[in-house]
């Protein structure tokens, strides 16, 4: 793997840091059949170190960005994130993008078990069955806040299923069905 590691905000890349990146990225490299090129950037802030790793592959780019107090922990987390992205998306990429020349040959077939990948993609992490109550909007907001959730499903007064959710701007959103 060709590796380009750079430091920003006064961060100097030592040989030990470069070797640690190379060692950790071997996990990612073994999944691919061709030589990869990886770009890593380490930035230092007052109390945090930020690690960004980008690996361009034919037609796609995988990327991870992690902050941690410890540089080596940030590298570990970033590589774990890349592996998770590959594991999650390898099957989809092989299936949907096979027509594009070069992509179908980018992965080694012996590294990941496709039946296990299929299970991971299809099965939910947690399944929960709930009974919906008939509530006013104010009651639903109160219930959602009491539960500490960022969404809540309920029946409105017209017995329609509604989804109440907390938006990124801090306001509430409501999805009504019919």
Q: How far apart are CA 147 and CA 119, in angstroms?
A: 30
Domains in the chain (CATH in brackets) are 2-122 (3.30.160.100), 137-176 (3.30.505.50)
Count of residues making up the chain: 178
Q: Is 36 exposed, middle or buried (0-12, 13-18, 19+ CB in 10 A)?
A: middle
Q: Could you report the per-residue pLDDT of 128-166, keeping only the tens digit for each?
A: 788 888 889 988 888 888 777 889 999 999 999 999 999
pTM exceeds cut of 0.75: no
Task: Decide if pLDDT at 26 tops 80.
Answer: yes
Which pLDDT value is given to residue 84? Answer: 84
């Amino acid at each position: 793997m060709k590796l380009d590691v750079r430091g920003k905000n006064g961060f100097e890349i030592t040989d030990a840091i470069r070797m640690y990146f190379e060692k950790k990225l071997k996990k990612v490299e073994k999944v691919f059949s061709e030589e990869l090129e990886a770009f890593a950037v380490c930035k230092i802030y007052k109390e945090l170190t930020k690690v960004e790793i980008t690996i361009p592959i034919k037609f796609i780019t995988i990327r991870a960005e992690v902050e941690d107090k410890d540089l080596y922990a940030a590298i570990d987390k970033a590589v774990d994130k890349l592996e998770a992205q590959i594991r999650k998306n390898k099957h989809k990429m092989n299936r949907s993008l096979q027509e594009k020349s070069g992509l179908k040959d980018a992965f080694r077939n012996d590294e990941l078990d496709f039946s296990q990948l299929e299970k991971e993609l299809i099965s939910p992490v947690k399944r929960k069955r709930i009974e919906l109550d008939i509530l006013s909007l104010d009651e639903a907001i109160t219930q959602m806040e009491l539960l500490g959730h960022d969404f809540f499903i309920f029946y409105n007064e017209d017995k329609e299923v509604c989804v109440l959710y907390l938006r990124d701007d801090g306001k509430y959103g409501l999805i009504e069905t019919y």
